[in-house]
């Protein structure tokens, strides 16, 4: 019986405290709207990305995980950076292959008749 009476009193106290906090909120009845936490973009646009940039990347948490827009922006930036590097690597490899082919072509040519004196 005492336990039941204790639970009823505790319930009344909790309901009263919640009611007072909601209804009697002081001068401003509602809490001000908090702006959502935004990603402070540590991915620099004025220089190429490096491993430390990606390791330091931290997304702010929201109620259901991460903000999709922040993740999409970061992944888009990383994808563009990788695509740019892939193109640069392909261009350098093609230039290297062309230079190697040209070097092999000139070394295999017969010397001119005038050079054997």
Phi, psi of 109 (to 5 degrees): -75, 150
Instruction: Provide the token pair at 49.
Output: 């990305």
What pLDDT sits at residue 15? 92
pLDDT tens-place values along the chain, 117 residues long: 889 999 999 999 999 888 877 776 555 556 667 666 676 766 777 888 888 888 888 888 877 788 888 888 889 989 999 999 999 999 999 999 988 888 887 655 555 556 554
What pLDDT sits at residue 34? 64
What pLDDT sits at residue 53? 83
What pLDDT sits at residue 11? 95
CB 38 within 8 A of CB 60: yes
What pLDDT sits at residue 64? 78
What pLDDT sits at residue 95? 94
Instruction: Provide the token pair at 109.
Output: 């040519």
Q: Which residues contact 66 (CB under 8 A, 6 or more apart)?
A: 59, 60
Task: Tell if the pTM clears 0.85, that is, is over it.
Answer: no
What pLDDT sits at residue 29? 55
What pLDDT sits at residue 90? 95
């Amino acid at each position: 019986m005492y336990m039941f009476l204790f639970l009823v009193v505790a319930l009344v106290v909790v309901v009263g405290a919640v009611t007072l906090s909601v209804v009697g909120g002081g001068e401003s009845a509602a809490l001000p709207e908090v702006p959502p936490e935004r990603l402070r973009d540590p991915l620099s646009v004025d220089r190429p990305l490096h491993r430390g940039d990606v390791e330091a990347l931290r997304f702010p948490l929201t109620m259901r995980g991460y903000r999709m827009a922040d993740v999409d922006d970061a992944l888009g930036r990383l994808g563009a950076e990788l695509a740019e590097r892939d193109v640069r690597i392909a261009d350098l490899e093609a230039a290297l292959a062309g230079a190697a082919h040209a070097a092999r072509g000139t070394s295999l040519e017969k010397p001119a008749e005038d050079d054997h004196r």
